[in-house]
Structures are given as structure tokens and as C-alpha cells.
């Protein structure tokens, strides 16, 4: 709960005859993270051909898997979950290729017909929309399409440009007819000798005459061509319906076969990829990786059942020290998954570092609710989030992970709505259990800053604990976020308290000495950290440069501590702004129709929708900012390697 899952390193020596059964055990349960040992145990020269063979197989399987996925997508066939039946061996790509090619070709031919006909259909509709503007013109313009001696253009021209076109052609023999006249545009026909085509073309472009393209293969008047096109459109639509029915029949006919082929190829590809990264000795394979410690015993039993001659060595890994090569598994319940997503968006914790998911699961909704406290609006957010999380609405299916977060934040806003006495912006219906931010501005701002002080103290303590676990003694004692930085922060708070609280119990002289001592430690932190870590040289750069840089860094640290603390005032400020915005909406509603009128309630409804959408988004961003930059920055370094277990079913991954 408080740290990433405990990991154990495991090293296996597997006889070549048991290679496939062992690989199937390792890749079938989603608990083994493989390390590449092919470089450490490259094998004898005579075995390099076998290694290349596995690489070729893995590449072939990857290509076949992509082709199967495309074919299944064309037929609308879902991959589904890993089938219950086991694949005993890795298949031979050459054996399944003919079947895949046969189905792929049949589906492709039918799909190509649909795509080609759809494109032709789009073209026919485009011709139809052009010709409908001149359908009542009796002339057979199709006879002029390929005329050897006459250049002609049929099209639409802005009414204001007709005179410009006439002026451009005043000295050129031509025929110009207006076929239809509308206020803004005219349908015209321009014809002239082919010898003057260049001049006519320039005149057409300069007057913005938009030519109507006549479809090839159709003859007669526009009305006759329109009739023929409509008949062809009906035929094309009927053909598409028939071909789609044929594709649906193919989906039924080949669905089970394609799924079986897909999982057979997918399984073979996963296992081949794994084998490529095994180390090779003369008669054995070396497999190295990481396994979840609480799954180790089960995995060992399965491996011994798969191979009686397997050799297994395990190396449990503690939290202390630096373990950047240890994969980090964060496996929380579905209720904490949305907050785990928030954490990993910022960074993935290191193996020995505190996993802040459970902290953010409490802190994030509380901060959001404090800024967005309203019973009605909170319940709507909670309902919307629950709908998104359910995945029942296709349009919101991709946001299912975010839905849980929105639902919890909406419930928190509802609780704070009762505390503030606000429901859909109305503050005269519920009696506030605590206080109304709009009527107690200084109190709510003071409480917000006080909450920020508590959270920053917690962040400093977590940072100190993380440094202690990693045995990073120099940073633990002297860094800005270590003991020295924490004492400086506490002493600054104490100095402020001593000025405002006459009965402050600690003498000002003691607080001043503590502040000066911790400030000196923070200012000289680089030298002191290098001294503790026995790093030489103690100074990176000249002495003069350091004594200019160190006071500036101390000043930045002090300003950062104060700004981080004051940043939490935005929690109270947004709570006040939320009430102020609701009041503004009620003022606008009163102007729109008087209290109780239809206009009044329409404005109130639109205003609440605006607050839920726009202000909800802004409050969410501000909550994320406080979590990331004010809180996480004090203790969360991240940089952990993701736990990516071998698995045949992608759904088993974190």
C-alpha cells in the first residue's frame, strides 16, 4: 500500500529440451518481468544460427499478427480475451501463412469493392449537386465536352463579376449566355474558338468563374444526365449494401478461425520475443528477470512442474539503497486506479520510494471539493463521472479511467456543499454546517493557508523518509528538502508566529539561531553533501563563483518555501470565487426575467452548466498544480522503471 510491490530477482538455468514449457509458464501469468540476458550469455558460435532463427520467427509472427488485426478490423471482429485452450508449441509461420493469405485476399477483394464504390458514389453526388443548378437548361452540353474546335465553360460566377468577364473578352470572339440568374451568383455558359483557349482561361480565372465539371460517360441534357446519375447512385448503394452483407457473412464464417489464428500467432510471437532475450550456453538457456515477491512461490512450483531439471536462484530485494534497475509495480484496487494514473502522469516512483497514490487519493478530492463546494453541482459531477467510469456510453468509453476521479471529486464537492450551505449556487436553502466562504472570506483564506502548511510539513517528512530509505545521507541532512531545509521552513513559520502571537512559547532568540543555522546548512549544502558522500572535488567550479551562487540559491529556497505555502491560498480564493460566480449568475437571471420567471430559470440552468463545465475544469487544473508542484516537488523524485511482465493477454498488464 505504502510502497511499490516487493520484487525478487530470479535467475533460471533451463535445459534446451524444456525451453518451450518454461517459456509458456513465464509468459502465461503476467507476473514475470524479463531482463535481457542475451548479452551476458551470448552462447557458442555454433548456436548463433539458432538465435537468428528465433529472431526471424519473432519478426515473422509480428508481421502476421498485424495482418490478422487489419483483416479482423475490416470484418469488425473483436480479438477477445486469451482463449481457455492452451497452445502446446510455437507454430511454424509457413504453416499458417496460406490460410491467412486466403482469408485476407477474400476479405480484401470484397472490402476494396466497397471502398471503390463509396468513392465513386461520392463523385456521383458531387456531379449531381452541380448539375441540379442547371437541370432546367435544355441544351446538350455534353456534346461540347471533347470538342476539337470549340472551347467552352459551364459554371457559376459571382453576379458582381459578370461585367469584369465581359470587359476581359471585349476583343475576343465568344458566346456568353446567362442560363440562370440569382441575386448573388449566376449560372453561365462561355464558348469561343479553341485557338483563343489561353485568353479565355485567364479571363475565367480572373472573374472567379467556378466551372461545373460534366461527368464522363453521360450524354444528353442536364436533366437527362441527372436522371442517369440518380439511377447509378441507387445501384451503387444497393451494391454496397449487398457487399456489406457479404462482409458480415464472412465475419460469421471466419470469426472463430481468425480469433484462433490470432491468439496462436500472438502467443507464438510473445514466446519467440522472450526466447530471443534469453542467454545461451551450450546445452542450456539462462533466463533472468524479476517477479512479484508474493507470487514467487507459485511461479517456482509451476516452473518445477514444467522442468524437473531446472535450476532456480532467487535474490530478494530490500527497499534500502538505490534500485533504479528494479521494475516498479503499482497494483492498486480499481478504486485507487484513477489516482494511480495521476501519480504516474507526474512520475513513476522508484522501488525504494514511497508510493503517494494513497495520499493523493485523500488529498486531491479534498482540495477539489474545498474549491468547488456545492451539493447539486457536486452530485451532477459524481453522476457524470460514474457514467464515464461505467463505459456504457461509447462516446465516453475512452475516458473511463478519468470517470472514477471525477466521481470521487464530485462526491467531495457535495460534502463541502453541505459544509458551505450551497446547492446549485443557492445559499438560502441549506444552512451551512461550517461556514459560507462568500461571507467569511478571511477565515476561509486563513484555513486554506493553514492546510497548506500541514501538507507541506507532511511532504518534507516524506522526503526525509525517502532519503533515509535510500541511504542518501548527504541529501537527507543538508538538501533543500532534507532536514536542514525542513528546519529552515519550521523556523520561518515560527518567526512569523512569534510576530503575530505574543504568547508564542519558543523564545525569538532560539528561533533566530535555528533559522540562521539551517540557512547556512542549506546555503553550503553542495559542499556538505559532497563531504558526506566523499565526493571530490568538494566544489564544482571556483570558490568565488560558489560564494556568489550559494546565497542566490538560499534566497530561491526561502522564496520557494513561502510561495509554496501561499499557493494554497487559492483553495480558499476559489471557494470564494465559486460563490461569487453563482451570485453573478443570479443577478443576470434577475435581469433576464425576474425571480421565478422562465427567463430566470433558463439563465440559472445555463449558469450552472457553465460552472460545472468551465469552473470545474479550472478547479481540477488548480488541484493538479497544487498536488504536483507544491506537494510532490518536496519529496517525489520518480524515475522508476515500469513493471512490464510477460503476458499473453494485454489486459493483464498494469
Please choose, from the candidates 5, 44, 647, the residue with its C-alpha nearest in 3D space to the C-alpha of residue 328. Answer: 5
Averaged pLDDT of the chain: 87
pLDDT (mean) for 433-451: 95
Please choose, from the candidates 516, 496, 615, the residue with its C-alpha nearest in 3D space to the C-alpha of residue 566. Answer: 496
Do the strands 327-328 and 641-642 form a parallel or antiparallel pair, or are they unpaired? parallel
The enclosing H or E element of 152 equals strand 150-158
Q: Cell digits for 16? A: 534446451
Q: Decide if pLDDT at 246 tops 60.
A: yes
Q: What is the pLDDT of residue 651?
A: 57
pLDDT band at 368 (very low <50, low <70, confident <90, very high): very high
Q: What is the pLDDT of residue 37?
A: 86
Beta carbons within 8 Å of 309's beta carbon, 6+ residues apart: 15, 18
For the chain, the structural domain boundaries read 7-104+246-316, 129-230, 357-454+568-635, 472-564
Q: Decide if pLDDT at 140 tops 80.
A: no
Residue with cell 467510469: 389
pLDDT (mean) for 357-368: 96
Q: Decide if pLDDT at 44 tops 70.
A: no
pLDDT tens digit sequence for 523-582: 988 888 888 888 777 777 677 777 788 888 899 999 999 999 999 999 999 999 999 999
Range from 83-97, 452-466, 499-513 carrying the lowest mean pLDDT: 83-97
Q: What is the pLDDT of residue 318?
A: 87
> Between helices 569-593 and 616-625, what is the axis angle to 10°?
170
Q: Cell digits for 226? A: 441527372
CATH no., domain 129-230:
3.30.70.2750
Q: Decide if pLDDT at 453 tops 90.
A: yes
Range from 274-278, 372-376, 385-389, 545-549 carrying the lowest mean pLDDT: 545-549
Q: What is the pLDDT of residue 197?
A: 86
**pTM assigned to the model:** 0.78
Range from 204-213, 239-248, 290-299 carrying the lowest mean pLDDT: 204-213
Do the strands 185-193 and 150-158 form a parallel or antiparallel pair, or are they unpaired? antiparallel
Q: What is the pLDDT of residue 341?
A: 92
Amino acid at each position: 500500500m505504502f510502497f511499490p510491490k516487493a520484487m525478487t530477482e530470479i535467475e533460471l538455468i533451463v535445459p534446451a529440451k524444456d525451453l518451450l514449457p518454461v517459456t509458456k509458464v513465464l509468459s502465461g501469468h503476467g507476473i514475470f518481468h524479463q531482463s535481457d540476458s542475451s548479452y551476458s550469455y551470448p552462447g557458442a558460435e555454433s548456436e548463433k544460427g539458432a538465435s537468428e532463427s528465433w529472431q526471424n520467427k519473432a519478426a515473422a509472427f509480428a508481421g502476421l499478427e498485424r495482418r490478422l488485426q487489419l483483416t479482423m478490423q475490416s470484418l469488425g471482429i473483436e480479438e477477445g480475451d486469451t482463449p481457455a485452450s492452451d497452445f502446446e508449441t510455437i507454430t511454424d509461420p509457413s504453416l499458417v501463412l496460406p490460410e491467412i493469405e486466403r482469408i485476407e485476399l477474400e476479405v480484401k477483394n470484397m472490402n476494396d469493392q466497397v471502398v471503390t464504390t463509396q468513392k465513386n458514389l461520392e463523385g456521383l453526388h458531387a456531379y449531381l449537386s452541380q448539375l441540379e443548378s442547371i437541370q432546367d437548361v435544355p441544351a446538350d452540353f455534353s456534346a461540347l465536352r471533347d470538342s476539337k474546335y470549340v472551347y467552352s465553360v459551364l459554371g457559376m460566377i459571382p453576379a458582381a463579376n459578370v461585367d469584369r468577364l465581359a470587359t476581359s473578352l471585349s476583343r475576343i470572339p465568344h458566346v456568353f449566355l446567362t442560363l440562370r440568374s440569382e441575386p448573388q451568383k449566376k449560372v453561365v455558359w462561355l464558348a469561343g474558338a479553341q485557338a483563343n483557349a489561353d485568353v479565355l482561361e485567364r479571363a475565367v480565372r480572373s472573374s472567379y468563374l467556378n466551372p461545373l465539371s460534366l461527368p464522363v460517360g453521360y450524354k444528353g441534357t442536364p436533366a437527362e444526365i441527372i436522371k442517369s446519375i440518380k439511377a447509378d447512385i441507387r445501384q451503387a448503394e444497393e451494391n454496397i449494401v449487398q457487399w456489406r452483407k457479404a462482409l458480415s457473412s464472412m465475419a460469421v464464417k471466419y470469426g472463430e478461425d481468425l480469433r484462433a489464428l490470432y491468439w496462436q500467432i500472438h502467443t507464438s510471437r510473445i514466446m519467440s520475443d522472450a526466447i530471443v532475450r534469453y542467454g545461451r550456453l551450450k546445452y542450456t538457456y539462462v533466463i533472468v528477470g524479476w517477479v512479484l515477491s508474493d507470487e514467487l512461490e507459485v511461479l517456482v512450483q509451476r516452473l518445477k512442474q514444467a522442468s524437473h531439471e531446472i535450476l532456480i536462484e532467487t535474490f530478494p530485494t530490500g527497499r534500502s539503497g538505490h534500485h533504479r534497475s528494479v521494475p516498479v509495480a503499482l497494483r492498486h484496487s480499481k478504486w485507487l486506479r484513477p489516482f494511480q494514473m495521476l501519480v504516474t502522469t507526474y512520475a513513476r516512483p522508484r522501488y525504494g520510494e514511497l508510493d503517494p497514490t494513497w495520499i493523493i487519493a485523500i488529498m486531491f478530492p479534498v482540495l477539489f471539493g474545498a474549491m468547488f463546494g456545492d451539493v447539486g453541482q457536486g452530485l451532477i459531477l459524481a453522476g457524470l463521472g460514474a457514467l464515464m467510469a461505467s463505459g456504457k456510453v461509447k462516446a465516453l468509453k475512452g475516458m473511463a479511467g478519468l470517470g472514477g476521479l471525477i466521481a470521487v471529486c464530485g462526491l467531495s464537492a457535495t460534502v463541502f456543499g453541505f459544509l458551505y450551505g450551497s446547492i446549485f449556487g443557492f445559499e438560502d436553502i441549506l444552512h451551512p454546517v461550517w461556514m459560507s466562504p462568500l461571507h467569511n472570506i478571511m477565515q476561509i483564506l486563513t484555513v486554506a493557508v493553514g492546510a497548506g502548511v500541514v501538507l507541506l510539513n507532511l511532504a518534507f517528512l516524506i522526503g526525509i523518509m525517502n532519503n533515509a530509505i535510500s541511504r542518501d545521507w548527504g541529501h537527507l541532512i543538508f538538501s533543500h528538502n532534507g532536514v536542514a531545509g525542513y528546519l529552515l521552513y519550521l523556523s520561518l513559520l515560527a518567526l512569523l508566529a512569534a510576530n503575530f502571537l505574543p504568547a508564542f512559547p519558543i523564545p525569538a532568540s532560539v528561533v533566530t539561531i535555528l533559522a540562521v543555522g539551517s540557512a547556512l546548512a542549506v546555503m553550503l549544502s553542495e559542499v556538505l553533501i559532497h563531504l558526506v558522500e566523499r565526493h571530490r572535488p568538494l566544489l564544482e567550479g571556483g570558490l568565488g563563483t560558489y560564494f556568489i551562487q550559494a546565497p542566490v540559491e538560499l534566497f530561491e529556497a526561502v522564496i520557494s518555501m513561502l510561495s509554496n505555502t501561499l499557493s494554497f491560498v487559492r483553495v480558499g480564493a476559489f471557494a470564494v470565487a465559486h460563490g461569487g460566480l453563482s451570485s453573478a449568475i443570479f443577478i443576470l437571471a434577475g435581469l433576464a426575467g425576474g425571480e421565478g420567471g422562465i427567463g430566470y430559470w433558463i439563465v440559472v440552468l445555463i449558469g450552472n452548466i457553465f460552472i460545472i463545465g468551465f469552473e470545474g475544469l479550472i478547479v481540477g487544473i488548480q488541484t493538479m498544480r497544487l498536488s504536483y508542484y507544491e506537494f510532490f516537488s518536496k519529496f517525489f523524485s520518480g524515475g522508476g522503471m515500469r513493471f512490464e511482465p510477460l503476458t499473453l493477454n494485454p489486459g493483464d498488464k498494469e
